């Protein structure tokens, strides 16, 4: 008698056993395939670190134009061009927000360097809010760019 023979008394125990084994086998094969595909598609740590370094480099590039904007907006410690001054302040705020929003990508590169970047950006933002003379601002900008470069590993 085969597992599929049914004499009309309902489902035989053999049918239930065969269906259960096929379902279990399908589940095991599906889990194994899912694990293999999931792990093979994850980026490596080196790839993730490279992407984080690229992110830090991009933030540094975004901050670089602050110097000329601030120099055009502030002359001898006084606001000469309100639009350029506001643009410099907004760019500093944008970079600071970017660093804070991308914390999970940037901080693992070097937690101490990440903290120094935030400190340097806070000092730069405070100087831009006063305003200060160009030499003092340039020194703070150079420090912030250096910290971003250190975080990027360049």
- Both structure tokens of 18: 């065969």
Residue 75, domain extent: 45-152
- Both structure tokens of 59: 């933030």
Question: Residues 141, 110: one domain?
Answer: yes
Question: Residues 52, 120: one domain?
Answer: yes
Q: Go through 9-38 and write b for each residue having 16 or more CB atoms within 10 A of its CB, e for each that does not.
A: eeebeeeeeeeeeeeeeeeeeeeeeeeeee
**8 A C-beta contact, residue 116 and residue 77:** no
pLDDT digits (tens, 9 = 90+) for 87-143: 999 999 999 999 999 999 889 989 999 999 999 999 999 999 998 988 999 999 999
Question: Residues 20, 53: one domain?
Answer: no
> Does 82 score more than 80 pLDDT?
yes
pLDDT for 33: 77
Question: Residues 104, 65: one domain?
Answer: yes
62: CB partners within 8 A, 6+ apart: 91, 94, 95, 98
pLDDT digits (tens, 9 = 90+) for 35-75: 776 655 666 777 778 888 899 999 999 999 999 999 999 99
Look at the pTM and tell me if it is higher than 0.75.
Answer: no
Question: Residues 22, 97: one domain?
Answer: no
pLDDT for 2: 57
pLDDT for 8: 58
User: Whole-angstrom Cα distance, residue 152 to residue 139?
Assistant: 20
> Does 147 score more than 60 pLDDT?
yes
Q: Residue 153 burial (CB < 10 Å; 0-12/13-18/19+)? A: middle
Question: Residues 62, 116: one domain?
Answer: yes
pLDDT for 9: 61
Question: Residues 34, 52: one domain?
Answer: no
Question: Residues 78, 137: one domain?
Answer: yes
Confidence of residue 17 (pLDDT cuts 50, 70, 90): confident
Question: Residues 73, 141: one domain?
Answer: yes
Question: Residues 129, 63: one domain?
Answer: yes
Question: Residues 67, 143: one domain?
Answer: yes
Q: How many domains does the chain have?
A: 2
pLDDT higher at 6 or 111 = 111
pLDDT for 87: 95
pLDDT for 7: 59
pLDDT for 126: 95
């Amino acid at each position: 008698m085969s597992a599929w023979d049914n004499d009309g008394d309902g489902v035989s125990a053999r049918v239930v056993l065969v269906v259960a084994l096929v379902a279990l086998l399908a589940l095991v094969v599906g889990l194994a395939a899912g694990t293999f595909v999931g792990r093979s598609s994850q980026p490596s740590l080196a790839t993730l670190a490279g992407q984080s370094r690229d992110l830090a480099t991009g933030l540094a590039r975004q901050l670089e134009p602050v110097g000329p904007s601030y120099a055009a907006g502030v002359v001898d410690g006084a606001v000469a061009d309100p639009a350029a001054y506001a643009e410099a302040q907004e760019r500093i705020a944008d970079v600071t927000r970017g660093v804070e929003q991308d914390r999970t990508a940037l901080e693992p590169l070097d937690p101490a360097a990440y903290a120094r970047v935030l400190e340097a950006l806070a000092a730069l933002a405070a100087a831009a809010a006063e305003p200060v003379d160009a030499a003092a601002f340039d020194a703070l900008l150079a420090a912030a760019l250096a910290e971003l470069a250190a975080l990027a590993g360049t």
